[in-house]
């Protein structure tokens, strides 16, 4: 799980906006860019090359 302190300082690498935890707390979402960033072993992967469009979460809810 990601601490609130870390969430307060993490920003989307594309728009520099705030990100939010998904309900399952296994990914971060940028509501502005509609991008999904995975969390692996408790570490958010904040790379644009690794980000998935938010539609990915909607079309494959069991994947993330």
- Say what the pTM is: 0.82
Q: Residue 8: CA atoms inside 13 Å, Cβ hemisphere, count? A: 3
Residue 26, in any domain of the structure:
yes
Distance of CA 40 to the CA centre of its chain: 11
Q: What is the pLDDT of residues 4-15, one digit of tens each?
A: 899 999 999 999
CATH classification of the domain holding 55: 2.20.25.10
pLDDT tens by residue, 15-54: 999 999 999 999 999 999 999 999 999 999 999 999 999 8
Report the SS3 class of residue 20. strand
What's the pLDDT score for residue 3? 87
Domain assignment of residue 30, given as a range: 4-59
Query: What pLDDT shows up at residue 12?
Result: 98
Question: What is the count of structural domains for the chain?
Answer: 1
């Amino acid at each position: 799980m990601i601490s609130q302190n870390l969430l307060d300082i993490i920003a989307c690498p594309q728009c520099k906006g705030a990100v939010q935890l998904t309900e399952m707390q296994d990914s971060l979402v940028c509501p502005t860019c509609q991008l999904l960033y995975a969390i692996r072993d408790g570490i958010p992967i904040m790379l644009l090359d690794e980000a998935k469009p938010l539609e990915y979460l909607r079309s494959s809810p069991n994947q993330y």
